[in-house]
Amino acid sequence: MTKTISVFGLGKLGFPIVACLASKGYRVIGYDLNPATIKAVNERQPNIHEPGLAELLEKVGDLSATVDYRYAVENSEVTFIVVPTPSQADGSFSTKYVEAAAGQIAEGIKAKRAYHLVVLTSTVLPGATEGRIKPLLEKVSGKKCGPDFGLCYSPEFIALGTVIRDFLYPDVILIGESDPKSGKLLSGIYQTVCQNNPPIVRTAIQNAELAKISLNAYVTMKITFANTLAELCERIPGGDAEAVSRLLGFDSRIGRKYLSGALAYGGPCFPRDNQAFAFFAKTVDCEARLAEATDRENEHQNERIVALVRQRLGEVKGKRIAVLGLTYKPETDVIEESAAVRISGALLQQGARLSVYDPAGLENARKVLGEKGVIYTTSAKACLKDADYCILATPWNEFKNLKPADFISGMKKPVLLDCWRFFDSDGFSEQMDYTAIGFYRGDKNEG
C-alpha cells in the first residue's frame, strides 16, 4: 500500500494537489525549484490564489517540500509530475520541463531497489509519454519500465478556481498505463483520495493522451456553439439564449455545462488544447476542421463585443469605458487568453480610455495592458466613476451587489453591456440603458 507520494511541480495545480493528497493521510513530499514556493508549502501559507487552499492546509498532516529531488524520489513510492508544458508556435507542446523532471526522477529511481511509479499529469501530445519520457526514464535509471518501475499518464480534468473540488470530486479518472501493475497501483491511490467514487478508465497511454486534448477540444466547440446561439438570439424578436440553452441542456446527449452563450473561452487550457488537437491531426495526415473553425469563431466573438461597444458609442476614441472583471473566469487571478483582457486591449488600440477592476487579477492584467490609458481601480464602484460605458466581462459574485443606482450615480452615461446575463435584465432595463448578450436587441441591431 502506498504511504508516501512525491510531487514534482508546486505551481497553481501542484500546490493544491499536494494539499489534497496530504489531507487524505498520505505522507507527501513536494519538490520545486523555487525557494519561495518551498517555504510557502512548509509554512502552510499559499503563495497562489486558489479558493479553499489555505483552509485545507490547516487540516493536512505530513506535508513537506524540498529542493532536493533525490530525497523526494528516494523517500517516496510514487511520483507525480505536475509541471508546465508550454505551447509552441506551431500549436504543439514543449516537453522540456517534463523531460527535466523525468531525468531527475530517473536518477532517484536508479538509487532505489524498490519498485517506483511515475505518474505524468501534465498535458502532452499523443506519443510523448512512451516516445520521450519512457526512454529517458529507462536510459538514466538503467532500469526497465514494467518490472522495475511503472509509468502512467493520468491528466487531471481540473480548473483553476475549483482545483480542490475537482481533484476530490472528479467526474472521471483517466489512467493511461504502461502495464497493469502500474495502473492498479494508481487506481488504488485515487480510490482513497476521491470522495465521490468516480469511474476509473484504464487504457493505453496514447489513448489517454488523445482523450485529454480531445475532451477540451470538444468543450471549446460546445462553448463556441453556445456563443453562436447567443448571437442568433440577439437578432430574433423575443430571442433569449437562456431559454434556448436551458432546453438544450435537458437533453442527456448535450447537458447544460458550458452552454452559457457569453464571452469567448480563454485561460491556460482551452485555447491551447484546441490548437494542439488541430496540430496533432496534421501530424497523422488528418484535418481537425471543427477545431480549426472553433478557433476562428472564438476570435470572432472578441471582435463582435468590440463591435457592439462601437455600435453604441460610435467613435470610442477618448471615451471612458469601465471594464468589470479581467480574469478569464471568476475565482482565479489568471488572465491568460482572457476575453476581457483581449477586448480591453482592442479598445485601447482604438483610443478608448479604460477604468478596470478585478477582485484578484488586477496586477496580472497590468502587466499586459500597461499604464497608458488605463486606470486600475480598487472597487467596482470606483471603476464606474465618470464612465461613458461599462462592460460586465467576468461574472464575479462580488458584482452581484451592484444596483442600477450605482451605475446611474457613478457613470457619466449609465450604459451597461452585460456579457453574462449576470444582472436582472428587467430591473436594469427599466432604469438604465442595459444590453445583455444573448437577448434580442431590437433596434440596437442597427448601426
- pLDDT by residue (tens digit) across 11-69? 999 999 999 999 999 999 999 999 999 999 999 999 999 999 999 999 998 999 999 99
Look at residue 135 in the predicted model and tell me its pLDDT.
Answer: 98
Return the amino acid letter for 248: L
User: Do 194 and 311 fall into the same domain?
Assistant: no
User: Do 192 and 257 fall into the same domain?
Assistant: no
Q: Which of 155, 171, 203 is the last residue of a domain?
A: 203
- Rounded Cα distance between 446 and 48, Å, is 45
- pLDDT by residue (tens digit) across 256-307? 999 999 999 999 999 999 999 999 999 999 999 999 999 999 999 999 999 9
How would DSSP label each residue in 309-377? HHHHHS--TT-EEEEE--SSSSS----TT-HHHHHHHHHHHTT-EEEEE-TTTHHHHHHHH-STTEEE-
**212 falls within a domain:** no
User: Do 180 and 325 fall into the same domain?
Assistant: no
User: Do 8 and 69 fall into the same domain?
Assistant: yes
User: Do 264 and 153 fall into the same domain?
Assistant: no
Look at residue 446 in the predicted model and tell me its pLDDT.
Answer: 42
**214 falls within a domain:** no
User: Do 36 and 123 fall into the same domain?
Assistant: yes
Average pLDDT over residues 184-203: 97
**213 falls within a domain:** no
Confidence at 443, pLDDT banded by 50, 70, 90: low
Look at residue 445 in the predicted model and tell me its pLDDT.
Answer: 43
Q: Which domain does 21 fall in, by range? A: 4-203
**67 falls within a domain:** yes
The three grid cell numbers given for residue 263, joined into one nine-digit string: 464571452
- Rounded Cα distance between 423 and 178, Å, is 50
Sheet with 63-66: list strands edge to edge: 63-66, 27-31, 4-8, 78-81, 116-120, 149-153, 173-177, 200-203
Confidence at 441, pLDDT banded by 50, 70, 90: confident
The sign of the CA dihedral 231, 232, 237, 239 is: negative
**208 falls within a domain:** no
User: Do 172 and 258 fall into the same domain?
Assistant: no
**Cell numbers 508549502: residue:** 41
Please name which of 149, 120, 148 lies closest in space to residue 132, comparing C-alpha atoms.
120
Q: Which of 175, 203, 231 is the last residue of a domain?
A: 203
Q: Which residues are catalytic?
A: 269
**51 falls within a domain:** yes
pLDDT exceeding 90 applies to what percent of the chain? Answer: 97
Distances (CA, A) of 13 to 103, 158, 159, 176, 277: 21, 9, 9, 20, 22
- For 27, which DSSP code? E
User: Do 149 and 266 fall into the same domain?
Assistant: no
- pLDDT by residue (tens digit) across 381-412? 999 999 999 999 999 999 999 999 999 999 99
Q: Which of 203, 236, 270 is the last residue of a domain?
A: 203
User: Do 307 and 199 fall into the same domain?
Assistant: no
Single pTM value for the model: 0.93
- Using DSSP's 3-state secondary structure scheme, residue 90 falls into coil
What is the CA angle 203-205-210, rounded to 5? 95
User: Do 139 and 281 fall into the same domain?
Assistant: no
**64 falls within a domain:** yes
The answer on pLDDT for 175 being more than 50 is yes
pLDDT exceeding 70 applies to what percent of the chain? Answer: 99
Q: Total domain count for the chain?
A: 2
Which CATH number fits the domain that encloses residue 64? 3.40.50.720
User: Do 126 and 232 fall into the same domain?
Assistant: no
Look at residue 348 in the predicted model and tell me its pLDDT.
Answer: 98
**377 falls within a domain:** yes
Average pLDDT over residues 430-444: 88
- Using DSSP's 3-state secondary structure scheme, residue 176 falls into strand
| Helix or strand (DSSP H, E) at 416 | strand 415-418
User: Do 143 and 179 fall into the same domain?
Assistant: yes
